Amino acid sequence: MFLEQDFADVLNNDDDDDDDDDDEDEKEKQGMRWREDDAGRLTRFDFSRQGLATMFSSEQEARLQATRGEKIADGHKNTHVDRDRRWGWGAWSGGLSRGGPRLSELRPWLSRGVAGAAGGAGSPGGGGGGGGAEKGGRVRCSRRICVLFGSLALVFLTSLFFSISLRGGVSFNYLEPPGWEESRRVKLVPSYAGAQRLSAPDAQQQKTCACPRCVGDPGVSDWFDENFDPDISPVWTRDNIELLSDVYYWWVMLQPQFKPHSLQQVLLKLFQVIPGRSPYGSWDPARCLRCAVVGNSGNLRGAGYGPTIDGHNYIMRINLAPTVGYEEDAGSHTTHHFMYPESAKNLAANVSFVLVPFKTLDLVWITSALSTGQIRFTYAPVKQFLRVDKDKVQVFNPAFFKYIHDHWTRHHGRYPSTGMLVLFFALHVCDEVNVFGFGADSRGNWHHYWEQNRYSGEFRKTGVHDADYEAQIIQQLAKAEKITVFPGK
C-alpha cells in the first residue's frame, strides 16, 4: 500500500539525519524497501522471501490480465476494420488501422480468450466489459453477413425466376411451350418441322404428278429447290402438336396477350372438338390435284375468271371473300376458306374452315365457337357461335407460318400476309397451283373486288406486310413455273 503520510513526514524532517538513519535501519531490518511508483508516489515493498513471492505472483497476474484486456479491447475496436479489409467494403465507421489485428488473430480470443478474460478478471468493468463488447461485435457481424448473403440469394433467385420464365418455366403457363424438354433435345430436325412428313420425290424421278407441270418436280429452279421443304406439314394436328421453342416464342409475339393460357391444354381441348388430322397425303405420280388460290384484289372485277376458278379441285379463298353477286368474276365454288377469328363467317357444310391463329386465344375462341360460345371478344368483337362443318375444321400450323417468314418472305414485314400463307399452303398440298386476284389492278389500285373505294388497300403502307416484296416472290414463283398467275383487269 502507499504510505503518503509517512512520505510527508520524511520530507518535513530533512534536518533530522539521525532519525532517518534509525528509520532506514529499522526498515532494512524488517526486510522492507521504498520504491517510487509510476505516479511518483513512494510505495513500500516487502523484500522478504514470502513477500517477494507474493509480490511477483500478484504483479504477474495483474500484467497478464492487463495484456488480455488490451487484446480484447483492440480486437473489439478493430473487428469491423478487419471485416472491411476482408470484404473490401471500406470503413464502416472511420478509417482503416494499419496496426489492427487480423481476423485470424482474433479467432482464439473470440472462441476462448474472451470467456477466460471475462471470467478471470477481478473486476466486472475490465475483462467482463471487453467480453460483452466482443459479443455485441459478433452479433453485429453475423447480422450484416446474413443481410449480405440474403441479398445475394434474393438477386440470384430473382434472376433465376426470370430466366425460367423466359425459357418457358412454370411461372407463366401461357409462355410455356408444350414438351419443352423434348423439343429442346431435338437437334437434327429443322425449327419449323412438322411431325407429318410429306415425302419428297426422288431426285431421279422428274415427274411427281400427272399434271403437265408439277409443283414438286425437282431440277426446274435451284432457288425454289433450296427453299422448298416438303417435310413440313401446313396443318397443326395431334401428331405435330408440340412446337419448338423458337417457333413458339416467335408465334406468341405476333399478337401478345396477357391472359394466361396453357397452349397444350388448349390444343387438347380443341382436338376433342375437331378431328386434329391432316387430310392431305404425299406425292402421287398418278394424281393431278389442281388448286385455285383466289385473292381479293380489285383486278378480279370484270375479268370473267369465274368458270375457270370453279374448274379446280381445290378453291381456296381468304377472309370475307363474298361470292354471291360476283360469280362471273370470282366463281361460285369454295372448298377451303382461310380466316382468323375477327374475320370469320358461317360456311356451307362442304367447305373446310382453315383457322389462321395469331395467338393462343384464337384457339380458345374456335373451341368456344364450336361448343359453349363463351368467347365474344379478342381484341375485337368475334362471332359467339360459328356454323361450320366441325369435321372439316383445320388449324394453320405456326411452324409452317414461321417457315414462310424465314425461307420465302425473308423477314420482310412483321409477318407474311394471309394471301402468302394460303399460296404456300397450296404449294405444299397441291400438284398444280393457279393464282387469281393478287396484286394491284391495271390502274395500280390495291382495293378489294367487292369495294368501290379504290384507296381501301392502303394497308400495304402500314409496314405489317411488305406487299412489294411479296409481289416479287409471286413473280419468281411464276418464272420458276411453280405457279400460274392470272393478272385480271
Query: What residues act catalytically?
Result: 415, 465
Residue 372 contacts residue 269 (beta carbons within 8 Å):
no
Q: Are 245 and 168 in contact (CB under 8 A)?
A: yes
CA gap 68, 55 in Å, rounded: 20
**Which residues partner with 2 through β-bridges?**
43
| DSSP sequence for 353-389 | EEE--SSHHHHHHHHHHTTT----BSSSB--SS--S-
Q: Which residue has the cell 359467339?
A: 384
Residue 421: half-sphere exposure toward Cβ, Cα within 13 Å: 27
Q: Does residue 415 contact residue 401 with C-beta atoms inside 8 Å?
A: yes
**DSSP code of residue 465:** B
208, 285 Cβ separation under 8 angstroms: yes
DSSP H or E stretch at residue 137: helix 127-166
DSSP conformation class of 40: S
Q: Which of 324, 292, 334 is nearest to 423 (CA)?
A: 292
Burial class (CB in 10 A: 0-12, 13-18, 19+), 291: buried
- Residue 111 is given by DSSP the state I
Place of cell 414462310: 404
